[in-house]
Chains A and B, each alone.
Chain A
Amino acid sequence: MLKLPLNYFSRGKSWIDENVSRNDQVSIAFGILGFVLVYTHFPFEWSLPDYALY
């Protein structure tokens, strides 16, 4: 039977666990957090130092 992500904390494997590897789940979670951080802080007050251009 198909288990929805809402069942994640219930016993047995959820839809996510059956279809997305644990590594990918971690990447997606950090990706969403990364998007929020980048979106809320853009544009950055940062640039490469001058010497990097040589």
Chain B
Amino acid sequence: MIADYFFLIWVLGISVPLYWLIPAGLQAVRFGFLSLISICILWTLSPVIMLSIVFFALVLLGFTLAQRAELSPKHLRLLSWFIFSPLVLIEFIPAAWLVSGMLGQSAAQAPLLIGFTYLGISYTAIRCFIMVREHFEGKGPTPVEALTAFVFFGHFVAGPISGAQPWQNVSRSLSGRDVIIAICRIFWGGALFFVIQDYILNNNLIGRLGIPEGHVAAEWLGVYQGFLGLFVNFAGYTEVAIGAALLYGVRLPENFNWPLRATSIQEFWQRWHLSLGKFINTYLFRAVVREVGKPSLAIFLAFTVVGLWHSLSIPYLIWGLGHGAALAVNMMIRKRYPIQKRSALVNRGMMGFGWFFTMTYVSLLSAFANEPTLAAAFDLLKGLI
């Protein structure tokens, strides 16, 4: 999605009819048109984003050429992990010199590359990685498919994450069903992102309950409120991205399956951020299981890496360790104590407890990781006791 909802509606309203006016046989031209619009939008959002896209496109090209040169597949697979190495640099490089050089803006106005820009670049790194791996499997995209997958304005900042597959299976015509569903999802996404999120986060809901500021109960409710706000924000963004892509005939993967209904941490990750979960399962978890042979250790290591992918910070490292440890324990418990037949009442009680524990745990980790500094994160924990 882009910065302004009204602007997004205008862009879709003008570009979608023009896109479908291009003959179906000229799919590459359709994608070229969509890429051009996306590049214009991303350039206005952040010139640094465009630089990163050029970089990742060159990386993809480099791996394609290396594969044609018949370099060892094992070495190439190992080398593909270095696609993520720029993220280490990007997080610490002030954008000031880039911005002042490109736009003539004051360096003092340009902070570190944080927020949307960093998120967008980190998602692009994953897309680049998946497309490189697809190339190794002989399912790589054409240059124009890869470009469109990189720059599509709908999913750039926060996904859903996918390689080139949705762009390779694009519809050649637009059905009435797709138009209705796309419009519905864009409206629901807008409502989540702009209306419901605002209501949850900015209405002093805790104060209205009569709980004084600084009270332990207020702190705990604030943790749940923050997680709910994050979910609504993320889900809203994803709904708009999926709806916008559908208007161009592209079916992006789903990202959520009612995650707030999860009754265990394992189930939570089967419902939350599904496209990232697929990436973790395919390229991290299975790879480590093949090497180490221990699923619980593999899941722990995979989530530690994912924590650092979110942000190279101690709070996010603890977020990754926390999720990894909980999943590993969950996996071991399931293996040692398989599900047994119990009475309906006991089952419901256990599910209720599981739901409460899961929501509390993920909310707490999320609140901890999103504090700006480690000291602030520990202050948050102190406030909860």
Residues on A facing B (Cβ under 8 Å)? 24, 27-28, 30-35, 37-38, 41-44, 46-54
Asked if B363 lies at the interface with its beta carbon under 8 angstroms from chain A, I say no
Q: Is A27 a contact of B181 with CB atoms below 8 Å?
A: yes
Can you list 28 A-B pairs with a CB-CB distance of less than 8 A? A27-B184, A28-B184, A31-B183, A31-B185, A31-B187, A32-B184, A32-B187, A34-B188, A34-B191, A37-B195, A38-B190, A38-B191, A41-B194, A42-B6, A44-B5, A44-B198, A46-B194, A49-B115, A51-B114, A51-B115, A51-B117, A52-B45, A52-B115, A52-B116, A52-B117, A54-B48, A54-B95, A54-B111
Extra contacts, 11 of them, besides A24-B177, A31-B183, A51-B117 (Cβ < 8 A), are A27-B188, A30-B185, A34-B188, A34-B190, A34-B191, A42-B6, A49-B115, A51-B111, A52-B3, A54-B48, A54-B99
Which of A31, A32, A44 gathers the greatest number of chain B CB atoms within 10 Å? A31
B40 contacts which chain A residues (CB < 8 A)?
none
- Report how far A54 CA is from B109 CA in the complex, Å: 9
B113 contacts which chain A residues (CB < 8 A)?
54
Q: Is A34 a contact of B177 with CB atoms below 8 Å?
A: no
Asked if B291 lies at the interface with its beta carbon under 8 angstroms from chain A, I say no
- Report how far A32 CA is from B184 CA in the complex, Å: 7
Chain B interface extent, by class: 20 to 34
Contact with A along B93-120 (1 / 0, CB 8 A): 0010001000000000111011111000
Within 8 A of A (CB), among B161-186: 177, 180-181, 183-185
- Report how far A37 CA is from B189 CA in the complex, Å: 11
User: What is the minimal beta-carbon distance from A16 to any residue of chain B, in angstroms?
Assistant: 13
Asked if B126 lies at the interface with its beta carbon under 8 angstroms from chain A, I say no
Q: Is B185 a contact of A27 with CB atoms below 8 Å?
A: yes
Closest to B111 in A: A51
User: What is the minimal beta-carbon distance from A48 to any residue of chain B, in angstroms?
Assistant: 5
- Report how far A32 CA is from B117 CA in the complex, Å: 32
Q: Is A37 a contact of B109 with CB atoms below 8 Å?
A: no
Asked if B4 lies at the interface with its beta carbon under 8 angstroms from chain A, I say yes
Asked if B192 lies at the interface with its beta carbon under 8 angstroms from chain A, I say yes
Q: Is B184 a contact of A34 with CB atoms below 8 Å?
A: yes
Asked if B217 lies at the interface with its beta carbon under 8 angstroms from chain A, I say no
Q: Is A34 a contact of B46 with CB atoms below 8 Å?
A: no
B114 contacts which chain A residues (CB < 8 A)?
51
Q: Is A54 a contact of B5 with CB atoms below 8 Å?
A: no
- Report how far A32 CA is from B177 CA in the complex, Å: 15
Knowing A43-B6, A52-B3 touch, does A34 contact B192 (C-beta < 8 A)?
yes
Question: Of B99, B180, B194, which one neighbours A44 at CB under 8 angstroms?
Answer: B194
Knowing A27-B185, A34-B184 touch, does A47 contact B4 (C-beta < 8 A)?
yes
User: What is the minimal beta-carbon distance from A37 to any residue of chain B, in angstroms?
Assistant: 4
Within 8 A of A (CB), among B259-315: none
- Report how far A15 CA is from B287 CA in the complex, Å: 48
Nearest 6 A/B pairs, CB to CB: A31-B184, A34-B188, A34-B187, A34-B191, A37-B191, A30-B188
User: What is the minimal beta-carbon distance from A21 to any residue of chain B, in angstroms?
Assistant: 9
